[in-house]
Amino acid sequence: MPAENSHSEGDQGRMQRQCCILMMLFIGLLVPKMSIAGESSNASREMRMDELVVTGNKMPQDFRTGDVDKKSSPAFYSLIERDQFQGKITSLGDIVEKQSGVEVRKHGGLGSFSTVSLRGSDSDQVMIYLDGVLLNKASGGGVNLSDISLGDVESIEVYRGVTPGQFAKASMGGVVNIKTRRGEKGFKGNVSLGYGSFDTKKGSVFINHKPGKWDYLVSFDAMDTANDFEFVNDQGKELKPGQGAVEDRNNAAVNRHNLLTKAGYDFSRDLRIELNNQWFYKDQELPGPHNSEKADTTYDTRRNITTLRLIADDMGHLGINSHFKINHTRKEEVYDDSEGFVGLGRQKKKYTTKSSSGSLYLECMMANHLLSLNTRYQQEHYETESRIQKQNPMDSSRDLFAAVLQDNWFLFTDELIVTPVLRYTRIQDDLESGTSMFGEHLQARSRHRNYLQPQVGIKYALLEGVNLKVNWGEYVREPSFYELFGDRGLLRGNPDLKAEEGVNFDCGASIDYRMEKSPLQKISFEAAYFFRDVDEMIIRTYDARGVGKSKNLARGRIDGLETNLSLSGFDCLRLLGRATWKDTENRGNDPLLKGNQLPGRYTTSYLGRIELSIGKNRFYAEKTLQKGMYYDSVNLLKADDQEEINLGFTGSYKDLTLTVEAKNIRDNQYQDFNGYPLPGRSYSANIKYSF
pLDDT digits (tens, 9 = 90+) for 603-620: 999 999 999 999 999 999
pLDDT attached to residue 59: 57
CA 540, CA 542: separation in Å to the nearest integer? 7
pLDDT attached to residue 3: 39
pLDDT attached to residue 237: 60
Pick the range with the lowest mean pLDDT from 356-360, 565-569, 587-591: 587-591
The maximal CA–CA distance of the chain, rounded, in angstroms, is 82
**Would you place residue 491 in the very low, low, confident or very high pLDDT band (cuts 50, 70, 90)?**
low
Supply the DSSP string of 115-135, one letter for each residue: EEEETT--GGGEEEEETTEE-
pLDDT attached to residue 24: 42
**Would you place residue 48 in the very low, low, confident or very high pLDDT band (cuts 50, 70, 90)?**
very low
Count of alpha carbons within 13 angstroms of residue 219, beta-carbon side: 21
List the domains of the chain with CATH numbers: 9-690 (2.40.170.20)
Those residues whose C-beta lies under 8 Å from the C-beta of residue 410, and which sit 6 or more positions away, are: 72, 368, 369, 370, 416, 417
Asked if pLDDT for residue 55 goes beyond 80, the answer is: no
The closest alpha carbon to 405, from 363, 356, 465, belongs to 363
Asked if pLDDT for residue 352 goes beyond 70, the answer is: yes
- How many other C-beta atoms lie within 10 A of the C-beta of residue 597? 18
Selected residue with higher pLDDT from 532 and 292? 532
**Would you place residue 172 in the very low, low, confident or very high pLDDT band (cuts 50, 70, 90)?**
confident
Asked if pLDDT for residue 41 goes beyond 50, the answer is: no
Selected residue with higher pLDDT from 160 and 675? 160
The closest alpha carbon to 394, from 410, 402, 411, 382, belongs to 382
Those residues whose C-beta lies under 8 Å from the C-beta of residue 544, and which sit 6 or more positions away, are: none
**Would you place residue 34 in the very low, low, confident or very high pLDDT band (cuts 50, 70, 90)?**
very low
Report yes or no: 494 and 550 within 8 Å, Cβ to Cβ.
yes
pLDDT attached to residue 22: 45
Report yes or no: 411 and 35 within 8 Å, Cβ to Cβ.
no
Q: How high is the mean pLDDT of the chain?
A: 86
pLDDT attached to residue 405: 97
Asked if pLDDT for residue 44 goes beyond 70, the answer is: no
DSSP E strands in 367-496: the ranges are: 369-386, 396-411, 416-431, 434-435, 441-442, 445-463, 466-477, 491-492
Pick the range with the lowest mean pLDDT from 31-35, 267-271, 300-304, 326-330: 31-35
Calculate the CA dihedral of residues 669, 628, 607, 90 and round it to 10 degrees.
40
Asked if pLDDT for residue 391 goes beyond 90, the answer is: no
Report yes or no: 17 and 25 within 8 Å, Cβ to Cβ.
no
Is residue 646 within a helix (H) or strand (E), and if so which, with residue range?
strand 642-653
Asked if pLDDT for residue 9 goes beyond 50, the answer is: no
pLDDT digits (tens, 9 = 90+) for 455-489: 999 999 999 899 999 999 999 988 888 787 765 44
SS3 category, 662:
strand
Asked if pLDDT for residue 179 goes beyond 80, the answer is: yes
Selected residue with higher pLDDT from 619 and 549? 619
pLDDT digits (tens, 9 = 90+) for 628-653: 999 888 899 999 999 999 999 999 99
pLDDT attached to residue 6: 41
Share of the chain above pLDDT 70, in %: 85
Report yes or no: 204 and 151 within 8 Å, Cβ to Cβ.
yes
Is residue 13 within a helix (H) or strand (E), and if so which, with residue range?
helix 9-39
pLDDT attached to residue 546: 57
CA 1, CA 205: separation in Å to the nearest integer? 53
pLDDT attached to residue 51: 35
**Would you place residue 43 in the very low, low, confident or very high pLDDT band (cuts 50, 70, 90)?**
very low
